[in-house]
């Protein structure tokens, strides 16, 4: 058996923060864009309906309903969430590695550059 390396508090905190970021960020992105698509659809329908019956307007309620509510809104699904999660995991790993390198260099400088960290 090899030597088992113990993880310190800051490493554990970084791993937990990275895992939370990998789950929370894609969820927030997907939910917010789905809500925005629904909101845009509802706003477009209400704007269209507000023009029905105005002089010089040939809009009808049926036209507005078919134009804005006829086709289902294409919401982002699990495949998009998985892609976003993979990207967020890569970003979290990159920053974890970058911080680890910065801490190693700082320790090496503070100890006196004679011995590597």
Residue 8 above 90 pLDDT?
A: no
Residue 72 above 80 pLDDT?
A: no
Of 77, 96, 94, the C-alpha closest to 27 is 77
- The total number of residues written for the chain in this structure: 117
Question: Binning pLDDT at 50, 70 and 90, where does residue 40 land?
Answer: confident
- Structural domain range at position 54: 17-111
Query: 8 or 92, which is more confident?
Result: 92
In a domain, residue 116? The reply is no
Query: 17 or 117, which is more confident?
Result: 17
In a domain, residue 73? The reply is yes
Residue 54 above 60 pLDDT?
A: yes
Distance CA 110, CA 56 (A): 78
Distances (CA, A) of 98 to 26, 46, 69, 101: 22, 49, 48, 5
In a domain, residue 2? The reply is no
pLDDT tens digit sequence for 84-98: 999 999 999 999 999
In a domain, residue 12? The reply is no
Distance CA 31, CA 14 (A): 25
In a domain, residue 92? The reply is yes
pLDDT the model gives residue 20 = 94
In a domain, residue 23? The reply is yes
Mean pLDDT of 59-71: 82
Mean pLDDT of the chain: 85
Q: Is the pTM of this model over 0.75?
A: no
pLDDT the model gives residue 89 = 94
In a domain, residue 80? The reply is yes
In a domain, residue 78? The reply is yes
Query: 55 or 35, which is more confident?
Result: 35
- Cβ proximity of 83 and 90 under 8 Å: no
- Domains: count for the chain: 1
């Amino acid at each position: 058996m090899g030597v088992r390396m113990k993880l310190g508090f800051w490493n554990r905190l970084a791993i937990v923060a990275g895992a939370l970021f990998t789950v929370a960020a894609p969820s927030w992105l997907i939910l917010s864009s789905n809500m925005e698509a629904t909101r845009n659809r509802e706003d477009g329908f209400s704007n269209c309906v507000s023009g029905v019956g105005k002089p010089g307007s040939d809009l009808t309620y049926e036209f507005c309903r078919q134009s804005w509510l006829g086709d289902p809104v294409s919401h982002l699904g699990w495949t998009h969430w998985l892609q976003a999660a993979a990207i967020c995991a890569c970003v979290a790993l990159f920053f974890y590695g970058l911080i680890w390198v910065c801490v190693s260099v700082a320790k090496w400088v503070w100890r006196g550059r004679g011995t590597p960290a």
